[in-house]
Amino acid sequence: MAMSQALIRLEDVHRIYRLGETEVPALRGITLELHAGEFTALVGPSGSGKSTLLNLAGCIDEPDRGRVLVEGVDAATLADDARSRLRNRKIGFIFQSFNLVPVLDVYENVELPLLVHSHLSKVERRERVHRAIDDVGLHDYARHPPDKLSGGQRQRVAIARALVTQPILVLADEPTANLDSETARRIVDLMVELNQKRNVTFLFSTHDEKLMARVGRHVRIRDGRLDGAASGAAA
Amino acid sequence: MTGGWKLALRNLSRNRRRNLVTGAAIALGYAGLVLLGGYANGNEGLIRLSSVYLQHSGHLAVYARGGLGKAQTKPAAYTLDAAAQEEILAALRADPRVEFCGRYLLGTGIAGNGCKTFPFRGLGIELDVERRILSHPQLEPLRDVARPRAGRPLPDAAGEESPVALSVGLGGARLGKAAVTGREAAVAPGALECEAPDVKARIAADPWVQLAVQTHEGSFGAMDARLVSLFQAGTVDGDQAGLVAGLDLFQRLYDTDRVTYVAAYLHDHRDTAAVARDLSQKLAAAGLEVSIYPYDDPKANPYYVGTMETIGAVVTFIGLLLANVVALSVLNAMTLAVLERTREIGTLRSLGFTRRQLLGVFLREAATLAGLSIAAGLVLALAVSAGVRAAKVRFQPPGVGGTIPLVIAPSAGMWVGAAALLLVLALGATWVAVRRRVRERVAKLIVEVAA
Amino acid sequence: MNAVLLVGSLLLAGAAAAPDAGTLLRDSDRARGGLERGVTWTVAVVATDEGSVSKSSWLIRARGNDGLAEALGPPRRKGEVILFNNRSIWWVKPGLRRPISISARQRLQGEAANGDISSTNYARDYEGTIAGEEDVNGEPSWRLDLKARSKDVTYDRIRYWISKKRRLGVKAEFLTVGGDVFKAATFEYGNRVRLAGGEEIDFVSRMIIRDAMGAGNVTVLEFQAPRAETHAASVFNVNNVVR
């Protein structure tokens, strides 16, 4: 498969957390590329640096050393507002604990990213939101508040919210960790389906071995370093 | 961004009890500020009425140049002669903003009861002008204060022989006049018997007092005056030595046709500065050297100005306290809200909200809370002031010889100003509470869980 | 002009000569007024106050500590009477229902103070000490420091110069509580009075009172035709004065 320009490229990134006097290195020189249409699992034990890597890739954190390039642009060179715009337009986030806004219903939660930076008309916005909700199979739940939904449904809302802006990359941090295995399987199915049908690029972290079997490319991380740049074709 | 207000409004429903408490603080603070301001405003009205009409300062007073300070010691040189009086009165009467005018002669001297004498500080007034003042509709709230403590209003005795009104301190306590309606009872003069019970009883029953002064020309002037009323002046000095008599009697006593000042009473007190300015030009053109003092001039009216300053200081102090309580309540509520929503702030940032947009969400939230609370406070303040009006609450301020109504009359500026103040405070407190949070690393916000 | 003023002359007391302050005061008081059996004179008062001049004249009768001044002119003041009983002053005006008493503090105000000055009985009201010797208009004099014996006199302190040769008061300064000179007076003695016993004494003929604080206000009292006369005590009873 011909490799186009990487959507995201991490170049020798380091990230060190400072806890009082002590420094805890979370990433120690990681270089990684993500290409369009890839479905990549970031695998490693707890504390290995998965979340940190996702944060850097999503431009919600900055490396202490190294560069993060989004479509060739060094995120560090962008002002905060531009970085916010970049996140909004190009990156979708799915969190382990869903992170829905409790006072908004399903529709409103999904609509949220479109309320900023978007030049969409009201009609376009509505269509996009409904399509995203339909895509995750929550058509009948659009007006439900999050606390009336199951865990799986909530994560579907989060996925719809991540997809509604049509990002180049969706980052998912342990998206199934808070779900039972059956629900987790369905969520992964959904993501795989979206990857295949809509060509959405996914990078998600997990330590669930069963899920890894479904994924084309595995990136293993241990103690802040990649465990040999295991690579596979997009599914 | 769109939908910011919706989000703000929804967020208000989150911690209802806390928002209710914060809202109550804002509402009570607003009602408190408005009512406090309304009280000061109402009092200003009453104090102005008292100063202008009851203490005869007029809305503006025209003195001979230097007369305010020197008329007492050098009356011949610093009072207004008949020609000047005419000139001033003509100028004032030609001004449609002037309702009526009065001439006044100030003077000091001693008042005696045949046994003892005491110093007085007196004012000669035109009785027909005084009648007009006492029946003035604007003075309705002060009717009880204007009423003499004993006897009849001085104008009712116009035409009688030498009527005079004395302060309760001078006439009652010092000169021992209990009755103002008694018949003349011969009192044997002579200092030695003054304390004898029968002499005291006769003095009390005798309505006549003797006034002695240094005339404007410098010699002694004296006359009998008949006490028709005792009044409470409202100031310590006035109560110890106050005396009011007809202008003609006072002019005879001081052997002069001059007056200390001419006071103008206007239809609308807000015209005072303009009328004073026009009058000043007119009189200057006529070659008359005068000084014109509006009712709020601290030299001419220390009572009005001093009282207003005191009330202003108290109101400002309490107002600041209220504003602080409101600001701290909002700060507290917003600090807690931000703390609880740390992860949400991170989520919204990751979804692409800029710092400014996020701050805007919180500011909208605070503005909505403040707006709703202010509306509630407005209803409360309206209800309280209507209640006070309906209950016709009256009270007796210290040193005043009568009750005055409790008037709460906030001006339009106070309703708007207090709302603006609290809104700004609420937004400012929110800004302080939120600003630091939204500047933190997004990743840090997302992993942080509220304590 | 104020009546009280003139009364001035009613000063009293007097006794033998001795070089102590009390005796000096008594001797000098004698030449300005009251003698035991009584004395009568007239006084013309000319007061200048910032350029305006007022005149009045009075008949004075004095006896011991009492004095009675009756206005002779100007015409509109005729009949006014000022009575000095010890330290209290009564003022009686025709047509006025009651006499008016004037207290020490009230005397301080205005021209009334002048009358007070001329009527002060130094020997009775003040404790004197000889504070020094000075020439007054070339005449060697004692300077006495007088302190009030009681609070109901007008001035707490007076500086008083008495001629060594004539034993007469020639100059006085009246001080405020703060110690400033409030008024100053000079005395001349061109009159003579023959007493019942045949003795003839000097008697005041002119008193000039200057307002030290005001702008050059001056009051001149001219004493005329003093003669010894016996007055009954009843003349000085306020109840008899009021008609």
| Interface chains of chain A (3 or more CB pairs under 8 Å) | B
**pLDDT bucket at C104, cuts 50 / 70 / 90:** low
The reply to whether residue C98 touches residue B119, judged by beta carbons under 8 angstroms, is no
B116 half-sphere exposure, CB direction, 13 A CA radius: 19
Q: In this predicted structure, what is the pLDDT of residue C11?
A: 32
Name the nearest CA neighbour of B330 among B106, B12, B36, B1. B12
| CB-CB contact of C155 with C174 (8 Å) | yes
- Cα–Cα distance measured from residue B359 to residue B367, given in angstroms and rounded to the nearest whole number: 12
The reply to whether residue C98 touches residue B77, judged by beta carbons under 8 angstroms, is no
A82 interfaces chain B, CB cutoff of 8 Å:
no
Q: In this predicted structure, what is the pLDDT of residue C37?
A: 75
What does the DSSP 8-state code read for residue B183?
A: P
B11 interfaces chain A, CB cutoff of 8 Å:
yes
- Which chain B residues have a beta carbon less than 8 Å from that of C114? none
| Interface chains of chain C (3 or more CB pairs under 8 Å) | B
For the stretch B66-123, pLDDT in tens is 999 888 888 888 999 999 999 999 999 999 999 999 999 999 999 998 888 899 999 9
- C179 has a pLDDT exceeding 50: yes
- Cα–Cα distance measured from residue B230 to residue B270, given in angstroms and rounded to the nearest whole number: 33
Please give the residue of chain B at the shortest CA–CA distance from A125.
Answer: B2
Please give the residue of chain C at the shortest CA–CA distance from B189.
Answer: C239
For residue C177, give its domain range: 3-241
- Which chain B residues have a beta carbon less than 8 Å from that of A88? 351-352
For the stretch B167-212, pLDDT in tens is 999 998 888 887 665 555 555 454 456 778 888 888 888 888 999 9
The reply to whether residue A84 touches residue B354, judged by beta carbons under 8 angstroms, is yes
- Cα–Cα distance measured from residue B186 to residue C242, given in angstroms and rounded to the nearest whole number: 12
> How large is the average pLDDT for residues B364-383?
95
Each domain of chain A, given as residue ranges in start order, spans 8-226
Residue B125: strand pairing partners:
B104, B246
Q: Identify the H or E element spanning C130.
A: strand C126-136
For the stretch B387-424, pLDDT in tens is 998 998 888 877 677 888 888 989 999 999 999 999 99
Give the rounded distance of the alpha carbon of B149 from its chain centre.
22
- Cα–Cα distance measured from residue C210 to residue C125, given in angstroms and rounded to the nearest whole number: 22
**pLDDT bucket at C96, cuts 50 / 70 / 90:** confident
The CATH number of whichever domain residue C112 belongs to comes to 2.50.20.10
B356 interfaces chain A, CB cutoff of 8 Å:
yes
| Alpha carbon of C31: minimum distance to chain B alpha carbons (Å) | 28
Please give the residue of chain B at the shortest CA–CA distance from C47.
Answer: B218
Q: CB-based burial of residue A199 (10 Å sphere; 0-12 exposed, 13-18 middle, 19+ buried)?
A: exposed
Please give the residue of chain B at the shortest CA–CA distance from C82.
Answer: B220
For tokens 């509006």, what's the residue?
A: B294
- C34 has a pLDDT exceeding 70: no
What does the DSSP 8-state code read for residue C41?
A: E
| Alpha carbon of B403: minimum distance to chain A alpha carbons (Å) | 56
Residue B164: strand pairing partners:
B227, B245
- Cα–Cα distance measured from residue C133 to residue C165, given in angstroms and rounded to the nearest whole number: 13
> B88: helix, coil or strand?
helix
The reply to whether residue A62 touches residue B441, judged by beta carbons under 8 angstroms, is yes
- Cα–Cα distance measured from residue C97 to residue B187, given in angstroms and rounded to the nearest whole number: 10
Q: What class has domain A8-226?
A: alpha beta
| Alpha carbon of A18: minimum distance to chain B alpha carbons (Å) | 12
The reply to whether residue C101 touches residue B184, judged by beta carbons under 8 angstroms, is no
- Cα–Cα distance measured from residue C80 to residue C59, given in angstroms and rounded to the nearest whole number: 11
The reply to whether residue B347 touches residue A95, judged by beta carbons under 8 angstroms, is yes
Q: In this predicted structure, what is the pLDDT of residue A63?
A: 95
CB nearest to A88's CB, from B7, B352, B444:
B352
A190 sits in the region (left: phi over 0; alpha: psi -120 to 50; else beta) called alpha
| Interface chains of chain B (3 or more CB pairs under 8 Å) | A, C
Q: Do chains A and C touch (3 or more CB pairs under 8 A)?
A: no
Q: In this predicted structure, what is the pLDDT of residue B191?
A: 44
The reply to whether residue A115 touches residue B1, judged by beta carbons under 8 angstroms, is yes
Q: In this predicted structure, what is the pLDDT of residue C242?
A: 67
pLDDT tens per residue across all 235 residues of chain A: 445 678 999 999 999 998 888 999 999 999 999 999 999 999 988 889 999 999 999 999 999 999 999 999 999 999 999 999 999 999 999 998 899 999 999 999 999 999 987 788 999 999 999 999 998 889 999 999 999 999 999 999 999 999 999 898 999 998 888 888 888 888 888 888 889 888 889 998 987 777 777 788 889 999 999 986 544 433 3
Restricting to A residues 11-50, those with a Cβ less than 8 Å away from any Cβ of B are none
| Alpha carbon of A123: minimum distance to chain B alpha carbons (Å) | 14
- Cα–Cα distance measured from residue B336 to residue B11, given in angstroms and rounded to the nearest whole number: 13
- Which chain A residues have a beta carbon less than 8 Å from that of B444? 61
